[in-house]
Structure 1
Amino acid sequence: MIESTVSMHRRRSDGPAPVSRTDAGAVGDTMEQLIAGARRSVSLALVADGKFAAEARRILAARPQRVPGSPAPVLRVLCVGAATRDAVELLTNPYLPQTEVRVTETDLREVMVVDGRGALVRSAAGHADGAAVAVHDTAVVRALDLLFAGAWSRARPLARHLDFRPRLDHDQARRVLEMLSDGRTDESAAQQLGVSLRTYRRHVAEIMRELGANSRFQAGFRAVELGLMPRSA
């Protein structure tokens, strides 16, 4: 969706290029320029190791430059997988006092959006590692900001994520989730697991509560999102 939004506006735009490709060697410079001018917020989606993520970590781990006399902008970091470990370090950075980190297991394109005025989006697979698209068109940046906000609202705060996984990522919870995924009746699932019907239903209720799900179908969907269950082929 991000790639199609950027491509659509690249084709429509007239005048100075509001969307331009940035090669891997210049990604760090572009990030520094965006962050240096940040006044309100920096929204960053990090997926995994690679040039884009490495440059973002390097710049944010150092003392970020910003407009003299302006307060530090809010940094929101949305992480997937291994990127979560790097984001934890940003929380202790004294130069980034207003840092929030959330975790998601959904597929994301790495992106940085600053103040709703500029953005940098990692290029699609097939381009050189770390290459990105710099965006300055207001409409495109606003669309990227809204996409990030939607993913952010569905993500799990880091503290809850770190506390959550150990409670559900164990054999009993996975077996209950498998029963739900297979569509088994409560009676059949309880018998298969060797527990009473009351105990099985209690496990289901606890899992739904932990996942923030309102239905068993939603619980299964959330479990897949969080990597607790494999995606269907």
Structure 2
Amino acid sequence: MMGIRFETPSAAEADGEDGAGTDHAAYLERALLQAHALIESTVSLHRTRPVAPSAVARTRATLTGDTLEQLVKRARHSVCVALTDTGDFSEAVLALLATIPARAVVRVLCTAEAVGPVVTLSELPDRRVEVRVSESDLREILVVDGSVALVRAAGSAGDEAAVVNDVAAVRALELLFAGAWSRGTRLADHLQLSPRLRTELARNILERLRAGNTDEIAARELNVSLRTYRRHVADIMRELDANSRFQAGVRAVEFGLLAE
């Protein structure tokens, strides 16, 4: 192995004849030297062997812009993005999405707070852009062609991001995005919600409907008459096209009026 051969003792050494002690010691010394040479050769081979690239690489926030540009430029078929705010990260992503080839499908899932800038992206001509709004607990990610992803670090600082190259890990992120996407509300539906559903009173009523409060208790807590409360409930159910109060609560979550 590796051009190194271990010598075996002579018959005299093995049988313990005269001088065997000296010969045996010499044999042990030669064997140890050969073993040492084998170990050194193995270590040297390991050191010169190319190291496989890491499946996950971290990048600081100062490098995120450059990293985003490199990833988005690779897009050929699809780009999936989840955005949770209107900060620098969102602005950089949206600006780059406007430059990708028109043939690529872009899916943007955002929170209600991030809808404003995203609306402009959805109006770009010759772009296959789909936008949905969600109030689910999203992690800001970018998945390109199902082969590479960028995951922004959680936390208020958000000073790091991880670039994921492992195919299995990217596929898992893509599936998580698909699940959140399926529960999101189409942007057009979100924008068409009646203004009365966005009032503080409507939100308070929806919260009490979801909590299962009785009309009497809810009306008392909101300091309105029972008749007025029930009229508001009927209006909200009609606006949400709900057949029951439970369904109204579900629709409120789907439309981003209530957090899950």
TM-score (normalizing by structure 1)? 0.73
3-state SS, counterpart of residue 241 of structure 2? helix
3-state SS, counterpart of residue 90 of structure 1? helix
Whichever residue aligns with residue 97 of structure 1, its letter is R
Q: Alignment partner for residue 75 of structure 2, among 38, 43, 66?
A: 38
Structure 1: gaps spanning 5 or more residues: 1-13
The Cα RMSD (Å) is 3.2
User: 2:133·2:256 contact (CA, 8 Å) conserved in 1?
Assistant: no
The reply on whether 1:123 has 2:156 as its aligned counterpart is no
Query: Are the structure 2 counterparts of residues 188 and 145 from structure 1 closer, same or farther at C-alpha, using a change threshold of 3 Å?
Result: same
Give the length in aligned residue pairs.
Answer: 206
In structure 2, the residue matched to 1:83 is: 114
3-state SS, counterpart of residue 82 of structure 1? helix
Whichever residue aligns with residue 252 of structure 2, its letter is A
In structure 1, the residue matched to 2:135 is: 105
Mean Cα displacement is larger for which, 103-112 or 160-169?
A: 160-169
Whichever residue aligns with residue 56 of structure 1, its letter is V
Cα distance in 1 for residues equivalent to 2:86 and 2:163: 20
In structure 1, the residue matched to 2:104 is: 73
Cα distance in 1 for residues equivalent to 2:158 and 2:204: 42
1:57 Cα shift? 2.2
1:176 Cα shift? 4.0
User: 1:208·1:215 contact (CA, 8 Å) conserved in 2?
Assistant: no
User: 1:42·1:76 contact (CA, 8 Å) conserved in 2?
Assistant: yes
User: 2:133·2:187 contact (CA, 8 Å) conserved in 1?
Assistant: yes
Deviations 1:57-83 (A, max 9, x none): 23224x33x5xxxx6200111111332
Mean Cα displacement is larger for which, 200-209 or 155-164?
A: 200-209
1:175 Cα shift? 5.4
Whichever residue aligns with residue 82 of structure 2, its letter is A
In structure 2, the residue matched to 1:56 is: 93
Select the structure with the greater relative contact order (CA < 8 A; seq sep ≥ 6).
1
In structure 2, the residue matched to 1:4 is: none
Q: Alignment partner for residue 146 of structure 1, among 175, 178, 203?
A: 175
In structure 1, the residue matched to 2:163 is: 134
Cα distance in 2 for residues equivalent to 1:204 and 1:167: 8
User: 1:208·1:216 contact (CA, 8 Å) conserved in 2?
Assistant: no
In structure 2, the residue matched to 1:193 is: 226
1:201 Cα shift? 7.1
Q: Which has the larger radius of gyration?
A: 2
1:51 Cα shift? 3.4
Deviations 1:114-144 (A, max 9, x none): 1110000101226553x21000101110000
1:227 Cα shift? 5.5
Structure 2: gaps spanning 5 or more residues: 1-50
Cα distance in 2 for residues equivalent to 1:36 and 1:45: 18
TM-score (normalizing by structure 2)? 0.66
Mean Cα displacement is larger for which, 144-153 or 214-223?
A: 214-223
1:193 Cα shift? 3.1
Aligned sequence identity (%): 48
